[in-house]
Amino acid sequence: MHDTPAEPTPEQRAALAWTQSARFLTTASQLNQLPPPGLPETAFVGRSNAGKSTAINLLAQQRRLAFASKTPGRTQHINLFELGPADAPDARWADLPGYGYAAVARDAKLRWQQVMADYLRNRHALAGVVMMVDARHGFTALDRQLLEFVMPRVGVGEVKLLVLLTKADKLSRNEAARSLQQAQKVLGEIATEHSDIGITLFSALTRQGLGDAACTLRAWTPSTPSA
Ligand code: GDP
């Protein structure tokens, strides 16, 4: 599906200007190395190869921002980015390690699963989670497991959730509609009346869903009015 995306609306443009302020802050291999919670944080999660780095780089309009997490030795770190004016940052993004990568040893996988579970369950500053899911595959068992970590907080409205069905350009229009419907069904089953859950088809290639994703992210961390 290669629709030409509509021109961004003024609201989307403003939201994208904000996402493009993202810059690298720090990296942590353990939760206690993260800076003390202060600014609201949005976590990006997804199976490895789901398109997480590509999506972050596109939102930030920086080709290599999220690829820091791909350099050897850093794949299992949490990378933090800061957003907003340089002298008055108003939000952080946390790029969590991609999961399900076959080559990672079992011990390391288990350790990391624990760190992610800990982060998602306990990180006080966590305001929202963006989950990247390959639109061709839908939610995998590991995605569902990760959702379980965070659903208690999503269910009470403490943490928001946005699912990006990535690589939508690889699907026909009908296939994309079906993928969206199936994923919505899964989310409908776990949502409560208090949860704030969004989902959109997303493509880094066509930019489908980019403006909407930026608006959602911006709305999660309302901050200083732009003077
Ligand atoms: P990550 O492991 O989740 O960070 O995944 P990457 O961002 O590295 O993407 C994995 C592969 O999918 C790369 O080859 C990307 O170029 C490709 N990819 C990512 N997003 C898209 C997309 O929207 N459309 C298409 N066609 N390919 C994509």
Any ligand 1 atom below 6 A from CB of 95: no
Q: What is the pLDDT, as a whole number, of residue 90?
A: 95
Token pair listed for 8: 């961004």
Q: What is the pLDDT, as a whole number, of residue 64?
A: 73
- State which of 48, 54, 101, 166 you would mutate to test the pocket of ligand 1, scoring each by most atoms of that ligand within 8 A of its C-beta: 54
CATH architecture for segment(s) 20-219: 3-Layer(aba) Sandwich (3.40)
Which residue from 199, 211, 208 is spatially nearest to 4, judged by alpha carbons? 208
Any ligand 1 atom below 6 A from CB of 50: yes
Other residues' Cβ atoms within 10 Å of the Cβ of residue 66 = 24
Question: What residue segments make up the domains of the chain, in order of their start?
Answer: 20-219
Q: What is the pLDDT, as a whole number, of residue 10?
A: 96
Q: CA-to-CA distance for 101 and 138, rounded, in angstroms?
A: 17
Any ligand 1 atom below 6 A from CB of 52: yes
Q: pLDDT digit of tens for each residue in the chain (227 aa)?
A: 455 667 889 999 999 999 999 999 999 888 889 988 889 999 999 998 999 999 999 999 987 777 655 665 556 788 999 999 999 999 999 999 888 876 677 787 788 888 889 999 999 999 999 999 999 999 999 999 999 999 999 999 999 999 999 999 999 999 999 999 999 999 999 999 999 999 999 999 999 999 999 999 999 987 655 44
Q: In ligand 1, which atom is closest to the CA atom of 48?
A: 2
What is the greatest pairwise CA distance in the chain? 50
Amino acid at 32: N
Q: pLDDT by residue (tens digit) across 18-55?
A: 999 999 999 988 888 998 888 999 999 999 899 999 99
